Amino acid sequence: MKTNETFEQHLRKSNLSENTIHSYLWTVNFYYAHYDEISKENLLAYKGYLMEFFKSKTVNLRIQAMNKYLEFLHKDRFRLKAVKVQQKNFLENVVSNADYNFLKKQLKKDGNMEWYFVVWYLAATGARVSELIQIKIEHVELGYFDLYTKGGKLRRLYIPRKLRTETLEWLEESNRASGYLFLNRYGKRITTRGISQQLKNYADKYGLDKKVVYPHSFRHRYAKNFLEKYNDIALLADLMGHESIETTRIYLRRTASEQQALVDKIVTW
pLDDT: is 45 or 54 the higher one?
45
* Of 1, 24, 2, nearest in space to 11 by CA: 24
Tell me what the mean pLDDT of segment 86-102 comes to. 80
pLDDT band at 1 (very low <50, low <70, confident <90, very high): very low
Given pLDDT bands bounded at 50, 70 and 90, which one contains residue 2? very low
Q: pLDDT tens digits, residue range 139-196? A: 999 999 998 765 677 889 999 999 999 999 999 999 999 999 999 988 899 998 899 9
State the Cα angle at 115 between 111 and 116, rounded to 5°. 70
CB atoms within 10 A of CB 195: 22
CATH of region 97-266, choose from 3.40.50.300, 1.10.443.10, 3.40.50.10860, 3.40.50.720: 1.10.443.10
Please state whether the predicted TM-score (pTM) of the whole model is above 0.75: no
* Amino acid letter, 65: A
Cα–Cα distance, 136 to 189 (Å, whole number):
10
Q: Where are the domains of the chain?
A: 4-78, 97-266
The CA distance from 15 to 21, in Å, is 9
**Residue range 57-65: average pLDDT?**
89
Report the interhelical angle of 97-109 vs 215-229 (nearest 10°): 120
Q: Say which CATH architecture domain 4-78 belongs to.
A: Orthogonal Bundle (1.10)
CA angle at 38 for the pair 24 and 73, rounded to the nearest 5°: 60
